Amino acid sequence: MLECPAADDIFVINVKFRVIICRPCQHAIRRDQVEAHLVSTVHRFCRSWAQQIQAVVQQWNPVDEPPTVDRWPIAIDHRIPHIPVYDDGLLYSICERYICRQIKGLKNHWRLEHGFTPASHRGRPRQGQQQEIRDAIAQHQRQVLCQQLFPHGPGSHYIQAAGSTGATQPNRRRRDPDAVDQLIEEVRGYQRQDREAQRTVIQAGDLDEATPWLNRTGWIRYLQGIPRDPLFNSTARPSDEGTEGIEGAAWAIWQAMHRLATVS
């Protein structure tokens, strides 16, 4: 019988930010969404396992519900464990809290939050004005390391992480030192075992799923949990050579059961 994985094999609390982090996915999860996250296509846990883990996580503290994003620091001296580090973050120096990872996002931030529109007419800026925009962005932005707790919604903004980007390639993702790959493989192993068990072990069926013969005998409750292969092997026709001993008795029983099933 497969056992449900321990909650702390899948999730971990970050005390500084007071959030729950999914180890395999490497991002934060709201506590009330743990069950939905586990049964999603990402993990494919069975509902009963997800509910068991959800019940355990509900007891964990300290966890803020909802996350107190406005109290989070804009920069951290120590990187957040179990969360990837990105070395292509773009920090707008005039607005220290805003970090993005694409120059397009920085341009939109300047336009929407700070009203930076050097073009004095409608339509696309002329070549000289485009160069002015590029020069201004180059002057007020710098590349930083960053991390992101939630993948979307509140708390999905980037936080500046300690360290220097150096001569690194953009969009490269740095993994936390712990054995993340090993943990992901363990979780996938649980999933494979669960799927295999569902394929090879007879499950309890409703009356409309069973044949009339099983309904009449009431065997459904007795067959539940029995592996299919040994059960199918036991129904193989015995040898009809000889009429004595175990083989002869098995042959006689098999014929009698066959006649009974045919008449019924």
Contact 24, 187 (CB under 8 A): yes
Q: What is the pLDDT of residue 145?
A: 93
pLDDT tier at 255 (50, 70, 90 boundaries)? confident
The answer to whether residue 224 sits within a structural domain is yes
Residues 56 and 183 in one domain: yes
Residues 184 and 163 in one domain: no
Mean pLDDT of 170-189: 53
Q: Quick: pLDDT tens for 115-163.
A: 665 444 455 556 665 666 666 666 767 888 999 999 998 999 999 998 7
Residue 165 has pLDDT above 70, yes or no: no
In a domain, 238, yes or no: yes
pLDDT in the model for residue 92? 74
Judgement on whether residues 20 and 95 belong to the same structural domain of the protein: no
Find out whether 31 and 43 touch, Cβ atoms under 8 Å.
no
Share of the chain above pLDDT 90, in %: 29
Distance, CA of 91 to CA of 164 (rounded, Å): 13
Query: In this structure, is residue 213 part of a structural domain?
Result: yes
Mean pLDDT of 222-249: 66
Q: Are residues 49 and 89 located together in one domain of the fold?
A: no
pLDDT for the residue numbered 65? 85
Q: How many domains does the chain have?
A: 3
pLDDT band at residue 236 using 50, 70 and 90 as cut-offs? low
In a domain, 202, yes or no: no
pLDDT digits (tens, 9 = 90+) for 92-121: 776 667 788 877 776 776 677 666 654 444
Provide the domain limits for residue 42.
Answer: 7-67+179-189
Asked if residue 201 belongs to a domain, the reply is no
Asked whether 80 and 228 are in contact (CB, 8 A), the reply is: no
- Please state, rounded to an integer, the average pLDDT across all residues of the chain: 75
Same domain, 184 and 165: no
Nearest to 4 by CA among 60, 47, 58, 59: 47
Type of residue numbered 83:
I
Higher pLDDT, residue 176 or 76: 76
Domain end (from 132, 156, 189): 189
pTM: 0.56
User: 166 and 231 share a domain?
Assistant: no
- Residues 91 and 157 reside in one and the same domain: yes
Compute CA distances 249 → 1, 128, 236, 238, 245, whole Å: 35, 99, 14, 10, 6
Q: Is residue 197 part of a domain?
A: no
231 within 8 A of 223, measured Cβ to Cβ: yes
pLDDT digits (tens, 9 = 90+) for 27-70: 999 999 999 999 999 899 999 999 999 999 999 998 988 888 88
